[in-house]
Structure 1
Amino acid sequence: MSVASATPLVWMPADHRLLGETVHAQPYLILGDKYARAVKVGAQAQPVMFPLADASEVARLLALVDGVVLTGSPSNVHPRHFGEPVADPSLPLDEARDEVTLAVVRQALAEGVPLLGICRGFQEINVALGGSLHQAVHALPGYLDHREPKSAPLDEQYAPRHEVTLQPDSLLHRLARGAPSVRVNSLHGQGIRRLAPGLRAVAHAPDGLIEAVEFEQARAFALAVQWHPEWRCWEDALSSAIFEAFGQALRQRRARREAEARAFAAAPEFP
C-alpha cells in the first residue's frame, strides 16, 4: 500500500496496568477506547500502538506515523522528572510510559510531527520540555478542586464544569471561532506549576491554572489541553474542531511523506 492511499496513522501510547485479582494480576498494555475513537471519528485517522517500545526507538517509529496523541491516564508523570519526590504514594505512576512519551514529545516537536496532548499528555509535554507540575492542585490555597466526582455516572464526570478564558491570538481561539471563553470538563488532580520554555499558555481556568498550551516555534499542529475533548468529541463544537484541525495536519504530513517517497523512487540509481 502506498503512503498516499493509506489512512493517516496516529501513534497513541500504551498505559501499563496490572489487571485481575491481586494475587493473579497480570500486566496489560492499554489504550482507552474514547481516545482511539476520537482519533478514528474526529480526525479520520487510524490509531496505532507500539507496545514495549523504548526511548531509543522513538525516532524510527515516528517516521512510520503521521501524528501523535498523548492520552490521559489514571497514572501521573513521576515527579522525579521535575526534581520532586512523590507527594502521595497512593496515586498510580507509570514510569515505563514516561520513558517513551517524554522522548516522543521532544522528537515530535523537533521533526514537525503533529502533536495533540490531553490531560496527562498535556502534563507530559510540559515536563518533557523542562516545566514542573503541582502534584495536588486541590490542596493549594486559592485553587479549585479540578477532580471529577468519581462516584458519579460517566456522563456527569465528563460534563462541563468550569470556564476557560482563551488567548485571542491563539490556534485554540481560532478553533473556538473567536469565543473569549468556553466551558470544559475537568478530571485532573495535577496541573502545570512552572510553564516550560518554548510553551505558551493559551487558556486559563477561573483560578488561574493553565488549561491549554501551544508550542511557540511549532513546525506543525502542536496543541495540548488539560481537559478531555476526546469525550464524545462529535457532540461538542470545540472538541470537533480540535480533532478536525489535527486530522488536517495529519493529512498534510501524509502528503509530504508521499511526495518524498515519489522523489526517492524517481531518483536515478548510481553504481
Structure 2
Amino acid sequence: MPAFQTSPPRRPVVGIIADSIEFHGHRGHSVLHGYVRAVNEIAQAMPVMLPVAAEVLDGTTLLGALDGIVLTGSPSNVAAERYGASALPAATRQDTHRDAVVFGLLPALIRRGLPVLGICRGFQELNVIHRGTLEPAVHEQPGRLDHREGDHNRPIERWYDNSHPIHVIPGGVLEGLAGELVMQVNSLHHQGVDRLGDGLRPEATAPDGLVEAFSIADVPQFTLAVQWHPEMRIDDCPLSRAIFAAFGNACRTRQREREQAILSAS
C-alpha cells in the first residue's frame, strides 16, 4: 500500500502591485521578477499580481483573498497633487492608474490588518497615504546626498550595489531584523520624504538625515517601508532576506486568522 500522501500546506497569498505600461500600443500591467522571486523564495508566499485598474478591484474581495501586499518600486513618481504640491514637470514619468488603485484601496486594507511592505515608490506612497509630503528632487537640495542610481551604462546588477549606509533607529521593527545600528543599503531614488506622514515611526535615516525606512506606529500588524531595494539582494544580503522573511511570517499569521474566520462563519 503506498504511503499516505499529505498535501503541502497552503501558502499565504501576497498581492504585488503592478505598474501601468504600454506594450505595442496596448495598455498593460507589469511586475518585475525580483519581487515575485523574493515573495516566493524568502517570504514563502504565493505572489499574485494586482493590476492597476481601479475599476476591477474592490477592497472587500482583496481582504478575503490576500494575506499581505507589496508596494513595489517604480520609475514613475507619485503625482504631486496627491500631497498638495505643484504639478511635476511634464517630462516626469507618472502613473495615474497606479495612483488611483493605491490611494483608493490601501488605506482601508491597512486599517483592516493587512501586512504591508513598501519599497521605493511604495515607501513614498505609504508616506503620502498618511498625509506626508515628498521632495521630488532630493539631489537638488542643499546638504543632501545624490541618492539616484547613477550611471545607466553599468550592467543592471551593478545598479543594486550598496550605495550608502543607513543609521537604524533603536527599538523599532528594523532593528529587530537588522541586529545592527549601521547597515549598507542599495538606495536608488530621486524623490524622498519631505515631511513624514502622521502616525509613521522613522526606522532608519541616511547620513544626510533623509528618512530611509519607517513603520506605521498605530496598527498591530507588520508594516515596513524602505527606500532601498531588498528584493534585488536576497542572495547576498542578510537584511534583505530578514525583511522578506518577517513579512512572510506576518502573512502566515494573517492567513491563519483569515481561514479561522471562514471556519467560524461556516
The verdict on a shared fold, with TM-score over 0.5 as the criterion, is yes
For 1:148 and 1:88, how far apart are their aligned partners in 2?
20
Letter in 1 for 2:143: G
Partner of 2:154 in structure 1? 152
Q: Secondary structure at the match of 1:155?
A: helix
Work out the CA distance in 2 between the residues paired with 1:152 and 1:91. 23
> In 2, Cα distance between the equivalents of 1:132 and 1:31?
26
Residue identity in the other structure for 2:106: V
How far the C-alpha of 1:90 sits from its partner, in A, is 1.4
Q: Deviations over 1:122-168 (max 9, x none)?
A: 00000011011000001111101100122211222100010000011
Q: What residue is the counterpart of 2:165 in the other structure?
A: 163
2:22 to 7, 18, 23: 18
Shift of residue 175, structure 1, vs aligned partner: 0.2
8 Å Cα contact 2:53/2:98 also seen in 1: no
The DSSP-based 3-state class of the residue aligned with 2:165 is strand
Query: Partners in 2 of 1:72 and 1:254 — Cα distance?
Result: 25
User: d(CA) in 1 for partners of 2:157 and 2:62?
Assistant: 36
Question: How has the CA–CA distance of structure 1 residues 173 and 52 changed in structure 2, closer, same or farther, with 3 Å as cutoff?
Answer: closer
Task: Provide the residue aligned with 1:269 in structure 2.
Answer: none
Distance 1:233 1:145 in 2: 24
Alignment-derived partner of residue 50 in structure 1: 50
State the AA in 2 paired with 1:29: H
CA contact (8 A) 1:59 1:107 kept: no
CA-to-aligned-CA distance 1:74-112 (integer Å, 9 cap, x gap): 101000001112333212100110111123331222011
8 Å CA contact retained: 1:15, 1:94: yes
Where do 1:185-224 residues align within 5 Å? 185-224=186-225
Measure the CA separation in 2 of the matches of 1:198 and 1:226: 18
Q: Say if 1:52 and 1:171 are closer, same or farther in 2 by CA, change over 3 A.
A: closer
Report the Cα distance in structure 2 between the residues aligned to 1:174 and 1:207, rounded to whole angstroms: 23
Q: Write out aligned runs for 1:59-70 (5 A).
A: 59-70=60-71
> Partner of 1:251 in structure 2?
252
In 1: Cα distance, 2:228 partner to 2:236 partner: 15
Which residue pairs with 1:36 in the alignment?
A: 36
Q: What pairs with 1:54-93 in structure 2 (closer than 5 Å)? A: 54=54, 57-93=58-94
How far does residue 27 in structure 1 lie from its aligned partner after superposition? 1.8
Deviation at 1:17, TM superposition (A): 1.1
Change (3 A) 1:94 1:264: same
8 Å Cα contact 1:175/1:241 also seen in 2: yes
1-side partners of 2:60 and 2:212: how far apart?
29
Q: Give the conservation status (yes or no) of the 8 Å contact 1:146–1:189.
A: yes
Shift of the 28–152 alpha-carbon distance from structure 1 to 2, 3 Å rule, reads same
TM-score (norm 1): 0.91
Secondary structure of 2:44's counterpart equals coil
Deviation at 1:52, TM superposition (A): 5.0
**Counterpart secondary structure, 1:235:** coil
> Does residue 123 of structure 2 align to residue 119 of structure 1?
no
* Structure 1: gaps spanning 5 or more residues: 266-271
Unaligned runs of 5+ in 2: 1-7
RMSD of aligned alpha carbons: 1.5
One-letter amino acid of the structure 2 residue matched with residue 242 of structure 1 = I
- Preserved contact between residue 19 and residue 52 of structure 2 (Cα < 8 Å): no
Residues in 2 aligned to 1:63 and 1:183: alpha-carbon distance in whole angstroms: 38
| Displacement after TM superposition at 1:7 (Å) | 1.3
**Number of corresponding residues:** 257
In structure 1, give the amino acid aligned to 2:189: H
Distance in 1 (CA, whole Å) between partners of 2:120 and 2:60 is 24
Q: Secondary structure at the match of 1:63?
A: helix
| Bigger shift: residues 112-121 or 48-57 | 48-57
* 2-structure distance, mates of 1:253, 1:95: 30
Alpha-carbon contact 2:58-2:105 (below 8 Å) kept: no
In 1, Cα distance between equivalents of 2:140 and 2:131: 23
The answer as to whether partners of 1:204 and 1:210 remain within 8 angstroms in 2 is: yes
